[in-house]
Structure 1
Amino acid sequence: MIVLPFKIPKTKNLGVTYQEDRGKFFFDKLHEHDEIQITRIVSGKGTVLVGNAIHEYSDGDIFVIGSNQPHIFKAEVSSEKESFMQSLFFTKYSFGKEFFELDDFREMDEFFLNSRTGFRVKFDKGKLYTYFDLLMAGSDFDRFLYFFSILKLLRKGKIEKLSSFIDNKEYSDNEGKKMRNIMDFTLENYSRKIDLVDVAEIANLTVNAFCRYFKQRTNKTYFTFLNEIRIDRACKLLKNKEYLITEVSEMAGFNNLSNFNRKFKELKKMTPSEYRISF
């Protein structure tokens, strides 16, 4: 899907590109690029939307985002910390069309398969942090070697898949912009009442056409996606014990406490009270 085509800036003819992003926010528009992205969140917290799913991110997280997978890192507005991200970008053909097809790289098949849905590293990240630290001051050749050391560590181990749906279809620029507008509208307005008429208008579609459009491209209904965003926000708010659960429910966009409790348990397999106690 063409959402917001993004060209990774390259000043040299390199097979793998290293990039650092620092500031109050990361690039906060839904976008995609040809390159597979390996990212370490050095500092910062917020929400990452990948494909058809939404997750929290915080200091120390390491993500792999697949080629042409729509994504956005949305920093928490209230956070006073600087956001700092280190990323490596490469394609399966960065070193030639047959490079990763060599028998030497058979152990990488699982990595490339998992990258299609994107994943978060769940195993011990100590060695990965060491290589990411070395990337900062390394030469181009050093970074090339560290990159393969990082790939070696990522090829196996416990991971959390980020998206549950792989969309292999190609869409026009106009369709991609339409989906980006839907996502931007949802992320900015989830805390208030949203009717299908509102979001269908953003997409310039009838309600029925919008429902079909969204389901085909995300494999879930719009309200399922909206509730996932709201529950993700509720999880963040629940960590602040100054808020009553009724207040959390309202701030996350639910106007009915029983509906909030039901949706929360459906997605998190525990009640909001149990979730709060776990922290």
Structure 2
Amino acid sequence: MKVLPFKIPKPEQEALVYQEDCGIIFYDKLHQHEEIQISYVASGEGSLIVGDTVNDFNPGDVLVIGENVPHVFRSDPKNSSKSIMYTLFFTKKSFGKDFFSLSDMTRLQLFFEESGYGIKILSNLERLSSHFGHLKNQSRIQRIATLLHILDIMISSEKQPLSTFVYRKTYTNDEGNRMNNVFEFALNHFHEPFSLDTVADRANMSKNAFCRYFKKRTNKTFFQFLIEIRIEHACRLLFKNNDLSIAMVSEQCGFLNIANFNRKFKELKGSTPTQYRKYSIEKWNNQSKAS
């Protein structure tokens, strides 16, 4: 199966593509496409890898993936509810090669640059979700108008980058399949002990060649990447499973001792697991009261 480059299926004359993903999982293979992707997660949660960085996604998230940015959504298999996402795909040439170069569009240039690392929108989420909710029943012209409304809101919103490094060369199909196999193995087996030789075999490479290959494309070692996956999973467990002790969370995420888990968690999240759990639950309670 050819995974990369992933081509969004669309008629040649269709400038803007609206897509609804609805199922137990989203498309969970590493892929990239020339279109800029703006997505609203209506339901579902899991891990999102963009470029070199492991993030999470949750209901209500608004996410932007720039052109040719490698990414993969991995829904949490323990989440029984459907994953639902509404997405708009377009390129900077969709409405004519000079449309987004017009002086009226000047404020969008920084937004497009930021999208090259992926973006999570942090504010104006209710306004944005309302626009996404109307897309299904709109005509093509109305959807283009809605896209412009969404972009206008986004450029004034608080944002958070989803990655710090993106490999700028377009993957070949062979490279895409190789990286997908590695990412898939890490996401499926992060909680288990395994050697670097095992991962290198998945990439069909020697251990030394694999280490160089992975570092060049992600700007980090494989084990740095693996620790990020483990810590992101730990964050979900800490928030959703308050009955699990810190030691049990550490064990379920693949750490051999709790001291190492605490140290790595604080390095990546800036707080201890206990502090993170307390803050996350308080934040959720405050949001629930406000709504």
Quickly name the TM-score band, shorter chain normalised: over 0.9
Residue 270 of structure 2 is matched in structure 1 by: 269
Residue 25 of structure 1 is matched in structure 2 by: 25
Summarize the Cα distance change of 1:172–1:9 in structure 2 as closer, same or farther, 3 Å threshold.
closer
- Stretches of 4+ aligned residues off by more than 3 angstroms: none
Residue 84 of structure 2 is matched in structure 1 by: 84
Q: Please give the alpha-carbon distance, in whole angstroms, between the structure 1 residues aligned to 2:29 and 2:169.
A: 21
CA contact (8 A) 1:3 1:70 kept: no
The count of corresponding residues between Structure 1 and Structure 2 is 278
Secondary structure class of the residue paired with 2:73: strand
Residue 134 of structure 2 is matched in structure 1 by: 134
Residue 257 of structure 1 is matched in structure 2 by: 258
Secondary structure class of the residue paired with 1:47: strand
Q: Please give the alpha-carbon distance, in whole angstroms, between the structure 1 residues aligned to 2:274 and 2:129.
A: 34
Matching residue's letter, 1:104: D
Greater shift, 163-172 or 180-189, is seen at 163-172
| CA shift for structure 1 position 165 | 0.5
Summarize the Cα distance change of 1:12–1:168 in structure 2 as closer, same or farther, 3 Å threshold.
closer
CA contact (8 A) 1:4 1:180 kept: no
RMSD over aligned Cα, in angstroms? 1.4
| CA shift for structure 1 position 12 | 6.8
Residue 49 of structure 2 is matched in structure 1 by: 49
Secondary structure class of the residue paired with 2:150: helix
Q: Please give the alpha-carbon distance, in whole angstroms, between the structure 2 residues aligned to 1:224 and 1:20.
A: 34
CA contact (8 A) 1:3 1:179 kept: no
Residue 161 of structure 2 is matched in structure 1 by: 161
| CA shift for structure 1 position 122 | 0.6
Matching residue's letter, 2:125: K
Residue 40 of structure 2 is matched in structure 1 by: 40
| CA shift for structure 1 position 173 | 2.2
Q: Please give the alpha-carbon distance, in whole angstroms, between the structure 2 residues aligned to 1:132 and 1:14.
A: 19
Residue 67 of structure 1 is matched in structure 2 by: 67
CA contact (8 A) 2:31 2:176 kept: no
CA contact (8 A) 1:50 1:118 kept: yes
Q: Please give the alpha-carbon distance, in whole angstroms, between the structure 2 residues aligned to 1:53 and 1:270.
A: 19
- The runs of 5 or more residues in structure 2 that have no matched partner are 282-291
Summarize the Cα distance change of 1:3–1:164 in structure 2 as closer, same or farther, 3 Å threshold.
farther
Matching residue's letter, 1:210: F
| CA shift for structure 1 position 127 | 1.4
Secondary structure class of the residue paired with 2:88: strand
Matching residue's letter, 2:59: D
Residues 47-96 of structure 1, C-alpha deviations (whole Å, 9 max, x = no match): 11111111111110000001111111111111121111000000111112
Greater shift, 5-14 or 229-238, is seen at 5-14
1:113 aligns with 2:106: no
Summarize the Cα distance change of 1:74–1:170 in structure 2 as closer, same or farther, 3 Å threshold.
closer
Residues 209-235 of structure 1, C-alpha deviations (whole Å, 9 max, x = no match): 111111110011111100000000111
Q: Please give the alpha-carbon distance, in whole angstroms, between the structure 1 residues aligned to 2:81 and 2:50.
A: 23
Summarize the Cα distance change of 1:67–1:235 in structure 2 as closer, same or farther, 3 Å threshold.
same
Residues 225-257 of structure 1, C-alpha deviations (whole Å, 9 max, x = no match): 000000001111112111111111111011111
CA contact (8 A) 2:4 2:172 kept: no
Q: Please give the alpha-carbon distance, in whole angstroms, between the structure 2 residues aligned to 1:64 and 1:20.
A: 16
Secondary structure class of the residue paired with 1:42: strand
CA contact (8 A) 2:62 2:120 kept: yes
Secondary structure class of the residue paired with 2:107: helix
Matching residue's letter, 1:155: I
Summarize the Cα distance change of 1:171–1:56 in structure 2 as closer, same or farther, 3 Å threshold.
closer
Residue 197 of structure 2 is matched in structure 1 by: 197
Matching residue's letter, 1:115: S
Matching residue's letter, 1:65: I
Secondary structure class of the residue paired with 1:88: strand
Residues 6-31 of structure 1, C-alpha deviations (whole Å, 9 max, x = no match): 22122472211111111111111111
Residue 152 of structure 1 is matched in structure 2 by: 152
Secondary structure class of the residue paired with 1:236: helix
Matching residue's letter, 2:184: D
Secondary structure class of the residue paired with 1:169: coil
